[in-house]
A and B are shown apart, each in its own frame.
Chain A
Amino acid sequence: MGNGTHTRQRAINKVREGLVRRYAAERRFRRYGMLAVFSGLVFLVIMFTSIISNGHSAFRQHYVRLTVEYDESRIDMDDPAASDFEGVVKEATREMFPWMSSRRDKQRLYGLISGDATYTVRDRVTDNLSLIGKREELWVLLDDDADMFFKGYITPVERRLMLSKVELVLDGDQATLTGDETAFAKIVEAVRGNLRLQLAVAEAELENASRLLVGAEARKEGRDEVVRARSKLESLQTQVADLKTRILSANLNEEIGEGMSSHLINVNDIYFRINAVTATSISGVVFVKSTQRLSGVSGQWQLITLETPVADRRLSDKEISVLLSLQDQGRIEGRFNSVFFNAGDSREPEQSGILGALKGSMYMLIVTLLLSFPIGVAAAVYLEEFAPQNRWTDFIEVNINNLAAVPSIVFGLLGLAVFINFFGLPRSAPLVGGLVLTLMTLPTIIISGRAALKSIPPSIREAALGVGASKVQTVFYHVLPLALPGMLTGTIIGMAQALGESAPLLMIGMVAFIVDVPQSFTDPATALPVQIYLWADSPERAFVERTSAAIMVLLGFLITMNALAVVLRKRFERRW
């Protein structure tokens, strides 16, 4: 008896010991699972934040307000569309900055306005012939570089309002600002900071040079090398000493070169760049002149720091001064970027849009849906409900499953060989794209369709057959309606897959630059993923944000389609 209790005790202890380990293992497993879900979510969040942070700025676009004069001399009354609208836009731009008269200046000035302005003016006049001979204020697109500047991509800009008293003296294109020491403390400090940076570099070089000299002497290298090393060392020593005195000097007198951050001064509506700084005065070249206010004393001025040096950015100080002055005049406005949703592709980022790609994708998906859904459902119903079970049907089933795993580029090659080369359908047409994508999505739809049919319990079929329905009646009146939600879900997921596909489109000429928005199934078109690829490959900086914005639109579509699949399933699904 006692013995028996003992063994039972032992068994329980063993179980208890094991239990601790088992529970620990289970907890561990649960934690691994949570970790897996968590890391998946982290990647998702990283992806979304990077896309959204890159792309959100593309939904805004800056416009500039021009005072346009529809001069009769420039407009061709017989054929208004062929008039010199470029001249009209240039005239309006020049009018705002009349002193910019050199060829290069004018070129740069015109470059700040988008080429689209010409077409805006043209459309305005051809729609409204009564405007000829009149003036009006017209908002037109800014060029992509200017837009990038206002979005902060060209250089970080810091504007400081200064409230000390300064006196401005203008001498032709030269401006000099004088004031007491406190007035320019900020600029002087910036200049000293830059000198300190140069000093640090020179000191590091000096250290290096002295080490080289010691090494050369120790190795008893040729006289020439030692002499050369020594002279280099000496020149560096003088440089360092010079920099030190310049930093400490009370009568600072420095130049601000192109390799440093630029400082612009805005005083009395005048913009000039600081070229030289002393403790009590700064001077530079005037970029933007004022029509009324000139030299004189002012108690309020602005110091604008452009951090990126001129050599490293796409807009010069002069162009930025012009843009800032336009902003001061209230002529710049950021608006919702409607062009992005209403235009086809363009090589000018500010004129480019996704409508062409969106419509191309839409036409393609319509073709795909119309072909793959009926064919897929019919195939699934036949294979599942009517086909005899034999070697042939097994063979077909294996092949359909294999087809689902074929890389999509292969379907593109097939499309090229069959639809374009054999049937002579046009290249780049959504019709062909849709046909190719049909081939790609068919297996998905057939497989999901068969799964949906399989999930209908046999009792439904038996009941229908029991009340005297034929096989066809059973399938069409009882089984298919119940299986349809599942089939639709599979179809929508197949469609979403097709929407994101670009590889097969490469072969059939849909990876192309197409400006005109397609109007039919045979017009040349691209698709959304292709548009993303093309923009990602463009050199212009402004396409970076547009690429991300297009990705956001594509993701939006995919999420909507998947949500639709979920809703359909939830609404029509029957649980057994």
Chain B
Amino acid sequence: MKLKTSLMAVAFSVSIFGTGQVAARDYISIVGSSTVYPFATVVAEKFGKSTRYNTPKIESTGSGGGMKLFCAGIGAQYPDITNASRRMKKSEQEKCAGNGVHDIVEVKVGYDGIAIANAKKGPAFDLSLKDVFLALAKQIPGPDGKLMDNPHRYWKDVNPSLPDVGIEVLGPPPTSGTRDAFAELAMEGGAKKFADLKALRKAQGEGEVKSLMEKLGIPMGAYNEKGKKIFQAVAHAIREDGAYIEAGENDNLIVQKLDANPDALGVFGFSFLDQNADKVQGSKIDGVDITFESVADGSYPVSRPLYFYVKKAHIGTIPGIEGYLQEFASAKAWGEEGYLADKGMIPMPAGERRAFGADVQGLKSMSKL
């Protein structure tokens, strides 16, 4: 009997608490890139603690997943802001428009460097992008100029000046934005060092593309009228014979594994290198050390811009969006000595900051891509 009454009491309290608050939303909902997540969360927290608004809710869904949720429509059940570690794609903008999301404010917030690092107790690496491509690509141009399966087992096979250790690289899986950026910046950058591949990237027209494919030994089944597509397919293909190990999206795990295995290299974001400077060392890429300064001035070649996108239709409906934008675009947040820099984000140069700051003030809608 007692059980029955207590059960009923709890059921009653549930019906009181659990109803009637579904309709409106009084907090900002943010989704998107796991790279921007550590920075957006800091801004959200400061914003929540220093204003009367609720703290925004941030989900880390990856850039692509975030765009999908963001573009699903207008209304309280859809997110207001999505973070991205790359620019919005044309297809995504069209999908947004198809669901009635027309006015979007694009804000670039800063840069992130991708480190290729190993344990401190291991040898220091001085890599070029070409080395990275030769070590990690699935297929590389052979002595006859035709693509062949990557034969390299040791770093010194790639480049005699590199240490005599086996190629073992721990990196993010294809679902990760870090992997996209790594493929685009490092692998493509390395592939471009080969004249034929570089020509293929620029090639237009069937004759030119086909002759280059012939020269590189690419099967004609892969033909595309844009040479660039074929080039990307070659450059982005990372070897699957165990030299590149997909270590999951958890960058901390990669750092731990590197610490345990001094011969392995790892690919992860700069903020993790910054926090674990006592355990891992970043390799030089094309002679440039990965530092705060070298990423900010663009001399470090593997860095990428970070963005977020705001649904203009939600400003005014969901409380606090404007305040959140102000906080993000303030000098104490994204400035050179702002708190985001402390967290490992690399600030934009002053000019760029001014331009995007003005976009935020004026809530300028992005133009068609």
Contact = CB atoms under 8 A, between A and B. Distances in A.
B153 interface: no
A346 interface: yes
Contacts of B252: 536-539
A556 to B, nearest CB: 23
Contact of A366 (B14, B49, B337): B14
A522 B27 CA distance: 12
A244 interface: no
B86 interface: no
Interface residues of A, number: 42
B44 A515 contact: yes
Given A308-B278, A312-B278, A539-B344, A346 B45 contact: yes
20 contacts: A115-B339, A308-B278, A313-B277, A313-B278, A347-B343, A370-B7, A424-B22, A425-B22, A426-B22, A514-B55, A515-B55, A516-B55, A520-B17, A521-B14, A522-B18, A522-B21, A536-B252, A537-B250, A539-B272, A539-B275
Interface of B: 7, 10-11, 14, 17-18, 21-22, 25, 27, 29, 37-38, 41-42, 44-46, 48-49, 54-55, 57-60, 77, 120, 249-252, 271-272, 274-278, 337, 339, 342-344
Given A312-B278, A427-B77, 5 more contacts: A370-B14, A424-B22, A428-B29, A512-B60, A524-B57
A465 to B, nearest CB: 23
A313 B342 CA distance: 15
Given A512-B57, A514-B57, A312 B250 contact: no
Given A313-B278, A515-B48, A516-B54, A428 B59 contact: yes
Nearest to B43: A347
A66 interface: no
A211 to B, nearest CB: 15
A107 B338 CA distance: 11
Contacts of A540: 275
Contact of B41 (A312, A347, A520): A347
A520 B48 contact: no
Interface centre among B41, B46, B343 (most CB of A within 10 A): B41
Contacts of B120: 312
Interface of A: 107, 111, 115, 119, 308, 311-314, 346-348, 366-367, 370, 373-374, 420, 424-428, 431, 509, 511-516, 520-524, 536-541
B277 A521 contact: no
A513 B44 contact: yes
Contacts of B58: 512-514
Contacts of A513: 37, 41, 44, 57-60
A281 B59 CA distance: 58
B337 A539 contact: no
B337 A107 contact: yes
Given A513-B44, A515-B55, A539-B344, A521 B272 contact: no
B29 A427 contact: yes
A392 B67 CA distance: 45
Nearest to B337: A107
A538 B38 contact: yes
B7 A374 contact: yes
A539 B275 CA distance: 6
Nearest to A533: B250
B57 A520 contact: no
Nearest to A119: B49
User: Top 7 nearest A-B pairs by Cβ distance?
Assistant: A515-B55, A312-B278, A513-B58, A512-B59, A539-B275, A521-B18, A513-B41
A488 to B, nearest CB: 9
A400 B252 CA distance: 40
Interface centre among A366, A509, A514, A515 (most CB of B within 10 A): A515
Nearest to A312: B278
Given A308-B278, A314-B278, A539-B275, A521 B17 contact: yes
Contacts of A538: 38, 252
Interface centre among A348, A523, A539 (most CB of B within 10 A): A539
A540 B255 CA distance: 12
Nearest to A509: B59
Contacts of B337: 107
Contact of B250 (A431, A515, A536): A536
Interface centre among B7, B22, B276, B339 (most CB of A within 10 A): B22
Contact of A426 (B45, B77, B277): B77
A541 B275 contact: yes
A522 B275 contact: no
A500 B273 CA distance: 31
Contacts of A541: 275-276
Contacts of B271: 539
